[in-house]
Structure formats: structure tokens, C-alpha cells
Structure 1
Amino acid sequence: MQSKPWAVMAAAVPLAVGCLHGSPAAALPARGPAGQQQAAAVAPHVPPRVPAGTTAAWVVFDRRAGSAGKIVAARNAHRKYRSASVVKILIALDYLERRTTVPAADARLLREMLRSSDDAAATTLWSRSGRGAIITRTARRLGLADTAPPPASHPGFWGYTSISAYDIVRTYRYLLDTAEPRVRETVLGHLRRATPCGNDGFHQYFGIPSAVPRPWAVKQGWSGFGTVPPTRCAASAAGGSTGGPAGGRVAGAAMGGSVSAVARRAAGTGVPDYGRPVLHSTGLTGDGDRYVMAVLTAHPAGGSWNDSVRRVNRLTVDLYRGLS
């Protein structure tokens, strides 16, 4: 719905993709069908098979390929998905780049939001920093052509932000290569310590954490599976991070988390895949953060958590195997 204005802004900003790696040769392919074909052309392996009823997108960037790195696997690189909790990276990035000091209370919000995907923490920072303006500022600064705020009818629903695999890979590259060290170390430091359990009781070690050996840093996203996980992730496994600020679960879930009713209320608003569960796994893998990966998926309406996790795990395993 906002794709044309975003494309214009991205073209105007100085942080073009090539700038993120210091050389035009390092640029991700151009946006649009031609860019997707270019990305796919460099993939050195047969891509994973996508299960029927699942819509999948991925981008893998190898930072050691060539002199400046390149995409080595891609599918539907610019397809838009609703972000679910992946947007928490953008919330944190915007917060840190607009401040020179972080109060202890806010440091705790950032830690819980990034490590354990706490929804209440995200809602607090989202509301305080201008809601959709966070996405507008970050998209402009990083040149994220596929990223857009939630629709005006749902300004508080941070999980309705539109993202793409391409833009998430670009965001990680910005953190690695351009962001100030204090910003990089804060965000990636927390993502390297992602807990097995989200603060809503869902197990968040799917996708990359399940398929890829350490070291890795991850930010996961899930939405549309209801408020109660089929098997609640054990509180003790979350490294003492249960509960979260402001009691943790109810407020955040109502604003952008794992609530199928939230997705249904987005009907007619332009939110990608409303009414369908989404499950995303994104992050850095390999020694020296060699690979930047984003695997975004939407599953059949009414699909179960366990079935969706199995699909994402299988996709990610096949994708990672193809890199070796």
C-alpha cells in the first residue's frame, strides 16, 4: 500500500545498500522482479522445497563471498510479511540511535524485548517513541524499501509493521558495518543471548537456533497462534527472564504478539497475510557472523504451532546445508 513512497525515500537516502559494505560491488540486488532474479541467479544450490500451503521467503548474505560479500540464496526477497516480533530490532535500533545514554529501566526493557521477545516491553518503547514514526525514521535512514508502519487504523499494533527478508538482511548488515559500536554491541549482544523461551511461554528456538550450530544471534517472530502455546516453554529454561516488565504477557499480546484475534481484526487494512499465522527466524550465523539470514513464512489459516515450526525447521536445515 505504501510501496511507492517507500521506494522514493530509499532512493533518496545516502545509506544505499552498497554503502553498508563500503563498496557498490557489495550491494544487494535492486528492488523488484529484476532484483529478485539477480538474487536467485547467484544461489549456488537447489533451494529448499516449500510445503504446500506455506508461503516462504528467504535471503542469505555471505559476508566472506568475494571482496565485499554477496547474496548466496534468495526466494521472494521483497515479499512483504507482517513483522510480528522481528520489528523489535527496529524499535531497539531507533531508540538507541536517538539517545546517548540509556536509563537502567530502559536497559531492562531492551534486554527483555530482544532476548525473550517481551511484548509489554516493546509496547512501552513503541508508544513512547512515536509508534509508526519509529518505522518511518528507520526505513528512511537504512533505505528499507519494503518496510512500512502499521496501517493508520491500527497505530498501536507494532506487529503489523510490513517487512521483507531483503530489508531484514539489510538491517543486520547496517548493525554489523555502519551502526555505532555501542548500538551494535547492545542489540547484537542481546540477540546472541536469546533465551529458549519467549516471555509469552512460546519456545523460540525454531528455525536458525534449531537448524544451525552456534555461534548465532537471532530475533524470532511469531503471530496468529493464539495466546496459549501447545506446550508452555518451561520458565526455568528461559534463564530467569520470565514475566518481563509490567507483568509481561497480556498488554503486549494485545498490541502485537501471538494472538490470532489480532490478525483477524486487521481485515481490509492492508496488513500482509492477516488471518494467517506467521513464523520468522532471522539472524547471524557462523564464525565471525559470516552469514546474515532471514527466513520469513506464512502458514495456512488455522495451522498449528507444532506443524508450522516443523516446516520452518525443515526449510532452515535445507537452506543451511546448501551453504556448505
Structure 2
Amino acid sequence: MRHLSSIRSGPKAARRALLSVSALLLCLATAATTATAAPGGATADAEGTVSAAAAQVQVPADVTAGVAVYDRQTGTFTDQLNASMRFRSASVVKLLLVLDFLWNRGPDYTIPAADRALLEPMLRSSDDDAASHYWEVNGGPAIVTRMVRELVLSDTAGPPAGYEGYWGYTAVSARDTVKIYRYILEQAPAPVREFIMSNLRQSTRCASDSFDQHFGIPGAFDRPWAVKQGWSGDYEAGTCGPGNTKKTEPSSASKSTGPKAAGSRAAEPVNLSRPALHTTGTVGAGDRTIVAVLTLHPIGTGYGKAYTDIGRLTRSLDVPGATRPTGKWYGTWGTRVGVRDAATTASGVRTRLPAGAEVLISCQKQGETVSVPPYTNNWWAYLPQYGGYMSNIYVSSPDDKLPDVPVCVS
């Protein structure tokens, strides 16, 4: 999610005309609904900013968040917090990369097989090499300039001077993210809309860089949902999947959207040093509600902690049409804790958890006794969102058998 390369080729010839008027109308419609009543009687201002207390948005300590939740059925925002604040986009910018590629390709918007082989993993598994390819061949920051113009975005801008090769340093806000999704859902040609949304609905748990990308929206709500996630920072190696992990290189100027060494540049308008984690997409039947949650975490925060914090924040939101999964949320401890096919260490590993991540437990059963001195435990927790079992020895609870979790019936 953090890789990119320096630009090696110039922009293609201008090919923009179709639908720019409709995008302008969409922007005006979005602006007209921004000054809406927030939960608890508070009113959001024209910038889409209300207090976290008024909006009931639960922001964990030391986390900076920009939030916008838009109900397409009523045409109103149900939650907003710092909605115009600019964050580095990380892989959320991939929505603009695919829109730029598809713009005016009509009339049937046919996607060549070679491009489909890049675009599908870029959207589903956040493949960074694919993003770097389109950033290079389509003009880098010029892509952002075109999309800002065509979608009439208010806060989005290309990477700061000196970082033109860093697609993940594109600036974006929560309210602009809502505009991007509204364009895709309400104004884009049907083939464009179907291609993008169908791939976002097939988001893989394990991203191409071995990070578990089903935090935020996928963790807080049952399907249907469609998501494009983003992360950027000096996180530890990803652990997602049964086998290998992958460590990105956050100090590499040619490959990473992670921060450069401290003090290497003056302060930028968009924070480039704090670890970022973003969850964006739609929730509910008919893509009813658009959710954009952009977050920054204290320097040194591990991926599991950031994963947990954005999950708690997202679960606090008012999301019309959403169905929340049943079960109890528990913290975990340990590194590379396996989620297995059955309640035994001999069974296959489905994935490994981010260190310290909070998980949803729906039931528990007795199985193989696991020993991690000085502890032993033969109870196993079933994690419905992973479809597997984890030894209760790794659950942050003093009880071997969790007191508020039922026994699995099978």
C-alpha cells in the first residue's frame, strides 16, 4: 500500500470533456447538503466540521480523524468531524487513478486485458506496483490536477514539492472522498461504476503487501459493503495470510509513501510523518451510505493498535442501512497469532493477526490445550470475520473461558 516510483514519462494528451458538467452539478449538490443537522442537535458548518462529542464520533486518544458519513437515501450527512481536513491519501488515491484511466474511454469503456490485470488487484488488494505504473504513464501529479477539475474537488491536491513521485502523498479530505464516491455511484457511466464498485466489493482481506486490510468498515459492518482502504507509515511487517510476511521500506524515496527521516524537510501542509490509516467505501444495500474515515496516529504506533483504534471509531458512527455483526470485541496479545481452521494447532492457518489487534468473537469451544508459560488454556475462540479459531490464551481476558461469549453449538 506504500510503494510508488519516480515519474519517468509525461502525461498523455488531454482526453477530458465528457461528464464534467454533471460532475460540477454533483459538487453543488454535495455542497448544498453539507450544512446539515448533526446528531445531538449540533449543526455542521460549511466545512463539514462538528465537535466529536456532538456527533458521537468516538475518537481514540491521540488519534487525529477526519470523518464524513453521507446517507444517499436522505441526501444528508449523519456524521461529520474535521471533514475538510487534508490527509495524505495513501492508497485512497487509487480511486482517482482508475477514474483517470477510464475517463472518456467510451462508448463501451472496454478495458484491455493487460490493464484489467493491473487495475483489478489495485482495487481489490491495493497493489502498489499497479498504482506506480499508472502514476508514471499518465503523468503523475497531472492525474490529480485533472480529477480535481473534473470532479470539482475542494481539498484534494497533488503531492507537495519535492515529493512528486509519491502518489500516496496526494492530499485528500473526508468530504472530497464522499464526492469521489458520489461521482462513481451517481454520475459515472454505468460500465465505469460497475467496474470500480464490483472490484471494491471483492476487497481481499490480505493486501498485496501482506497487510490485513479489513479494518474499519469491513470489521464494523456486515456485508454488503465495498471498500478502498489506505495505510502509510513505518508499520511493522504485514502478517496477513498463512505464510510469508512483507516489510515495506518507509525510508526509500523511490518506492515508499512512508515518511523520510525526521527533519529532512520543513513542515508540510499535510502531515507526512505520523502513521496514517484510512477506511473508505459504501455500506448497505444499494450502496446506501458512503463512509470516509481518515486517521493519523502517534509516531511509533503499531499496525495492530492503529487497526483497533480505527475500528472503534468506525463502530461509533451513525451509518444508515448498516448491519452490525454479532459477538463480543476483545483485545489480543502476541505476535503473528494464527487463526486456524479448527481448534487445534495441527489445523491449517487461515491468517495471522496484526499484533495486538481487537477481534470479534461469536462463540468458543474446547479444543487442544495450548501452553504459553506460565499460561495454559484449552478454550478456543471462533472469529466469524476470519472464519476460524484462535486459542483463548491470546485473548486479553483473565478467564480461560470467556464469561460473556456462548459455547459454539457445533
What TM-score, normalized by structure 1, do the two folds share?
A: 0.80
Q: Check the 8 A contact 2:200/2:226 in 1, yes or no.
A: yes
Match of 2:32 among 24, 27, 36: 27
Q: What is the percent sequence identity of the aligned residues?
A: 43
Give the SS at the match of 1:319.
Answer: coil
Distance 1:227 1:91, change over 3 A: farther
Structure 1 residue 228: Cα displacement: 1.6
Q: CA deviation at 1:130?
A: 0.4
Of the three residues 86, 92, 99, the one matched with 1:86 is 92
Of 251, 274, 277, the residue aligned with 2:275 is 277
The corresponding residue for 2:6 is none
Q: Please give the alpha-carbon distance, in whole angstroms, between the structure 2 residues aligned to 1:267 and 1:193.
A: 39
**Structure 1 match to 2:289:** 291
Letter in 2 for 1:299: H
**Residue in structure 2 matched with residue 157 of structure 1 by the alignment:** 166
Comparing both structures, which one devotes a greater share of its residues to strand? 2
Change (3 A) 1:85 1:257: farther
Correspondence for 2:235? 226
Residue in 1 aligned with 2:128? 119
2:79 is matched with which residue: 69, 73, 88?
73
- Larger RCO, structure (CA 8 Å, separation 6 or more): 1
Greater than 6 Å deviation, 4+ residue runs:
248-251, 321-324
1:266 shift after superposition:
7.1
What is the one-letter code of the residue matched to 1:303?
T
The answer to whether the 8 Å contact 2:223/2:283 transfers is yes
Deviations 1:153-184 (A, max 9, x none): 11110000000000000100000000011111
Alpha-carbon separation, structure 1, partners of 2:187 and 2:111: 20
Q: How big is each residue's C-alpha offset from its partner over 1:47-87, in whole Å with a ceiling of 9 and x where there is no partner? A: 2221221101110110111xxx1111100010000000000
Q: RMSD across aligned C-alpha pairs, in angstroms?
A: 3.2
Aligned equivalents of 2:81 and 2:54: distance in 1?
12
Q: Distance in 2 between matches of 1:134 and 1:169?
A: 19
Assess, with a 3 A threshold, how the Cα gap between structure 1 residues 226 and 264 changes in structure 2: closer, same or farther: farther
Which whole-Å deviations, capped at 9, do the CAs of 1:111-163 have from their partners, x for residues lacking one? 01100000010000110100000000001111101000012311110000000
Which of 42, 47, 55 is the matching residue for 1:36? 47
- What is the distance in 1 between the residues matched to 2:255 and 2:170? 9
Structure 2 counterpart of 1:49? 58
Alpha-carbon displacement from aligned partner over 1:293-314 (angstroms, at most 9, x marks no partner) = 1001000011111111111000
1:104 aligns with 2:113: yes
- Are residues 264 and 192 of structure 1, via their aligned partners in 2, closer, same or farther at CA, if it must alter by over 3 Å? farther
SS of the residue corresponding to residue 36 of structure 1 reads: coil
CA contact (8 A) 1:148 1:161 kept: yes
Instruction: Using structure 2 for the length normalisation, give the TM-score.
Output: 0.64
Query: Is 1:128 the equivalent of 2:152?
Result: no
For 2:310, the equivalent position in structure 1 comes to 312
Which residue of structure 2 aligns with residue 10 of structure 1? none
Any idea what SS the aligned residue of 1:77 has? coil
Counterpart of 1:155 in structure 2: which amino acid? E
Please identify, of 310-319 and 263-272, the stretch whose mean Cα deviation from structure 2 is larger.
263-272
- CA distance in 1 between partners of 2:195 and 2:281 (Å): 15
**Equivalent pair of 2:23/2:183 in contact (CA under 8 Å):** no
Structure 1 residue 204 corresponds to structure 2 residue 202: no
Counterparts of 2:257 and 2:199, CA distance in 1? 21
Q: 1:184 aligns with which of 173, 193, 198?
A: 193
What secondary structure, in the 3-state scheme, does the structure 1 residue paired with 2:285 have?
Answer: coil
* SS of corresponding position for 1:90: helix
**Does the aligned pair in 2 maintain the 1:222–1:279 contact within 8 Å?**
yes
- Return the alpha-carbon distance in structure 2 between the equivalents of residues 162 and 35 of structure 1: 20
Aligned length: 291
Q: Which residue of 1 aligns with 2:72?
A: 63
Q: What is the distance in 1 between the residues matched to 2:283 and 2:304?
A: 24
Inter-CA distance 99–25: structure 2 relative to 1 (3 Å threshold): closer
1:144 corresponds in structure 2 to 153
Rounded to whole Å, the distance in 2 between the matches of 1:210 and 1:300 is 22
- Gapped regions of structure 2 (runs ≥ 5): 1-19, 36-43, 323-410
Larger radius of gyration: 2
